[in-house]
């Protein structure tokens, strides 16, 4: 693992390596669309990161405020990645991650929406056939 202070690492690569974004492409896109601010100003993906930089990142369902404590260029386990930054996110920013899932993510089917369950289908078939096996 190379973590020298003289090494230059791009913003998108750094944010990907500390696991703020799942892919480097997502990190680069976030920089290009203005969702990443370094020291209060929007930043391009190719800008070099240095120790002491402060980032404000607006993600899909979370807002991050972090301070760089070390430079890392390779993606590592989360337990290792958290050593390279300090999370200064206010409590209300962390609560955004606890969103309420829709019915599709809970696995429960909303009434009268989508395909019938096997039990529903059997009751429909039994009703349509008249309840008897005459044929």
Supply the pTM of this predicted model. Answer: 0.64
Tokens, residue 124: 């429909």
**pLDDT per residue as tens digits for the range 98-133:** 555 554 555 565 666 777 788 888 888 877 777 555
Asked if residues 109 and 117 have their Cβ atoms less than 8 Å apart, the reply is: yes
- Find the angle CA(13)-CA(19)-CA(77) to the nearest 5 degrees: 110
Strands 41-42 and 36-38: antiparallel
């Amino acid at each position: 693992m190379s973590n020298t202070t003289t090494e230059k690492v791009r913003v998108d690569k750094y944010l990907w390596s500390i696991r703020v974004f799942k892919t480097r492409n997502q990190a680069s896109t976030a920089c290009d669309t203005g969702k990443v601010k370094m020291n209060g100003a929007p930043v391009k993906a190719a800008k070099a990161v240095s120790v002491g930089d402060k980032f404000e990142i607006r993600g899909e369902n979370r807002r991050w405020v972090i301070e760089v404590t070390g430079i890392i260029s390779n993606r590592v386990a989360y337990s290792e990645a958290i050593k390279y930054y300090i999370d200064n996110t206010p409590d209300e920013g962390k609560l955004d991650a606890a969103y309420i899932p829709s019915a599709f993510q809970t696995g429960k089917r909303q009434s009268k929406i989508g395909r019938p369950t096997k039990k529903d289908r059997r009751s429909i078939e039994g009703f349509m056939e008249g309840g008897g096996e005459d044929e």
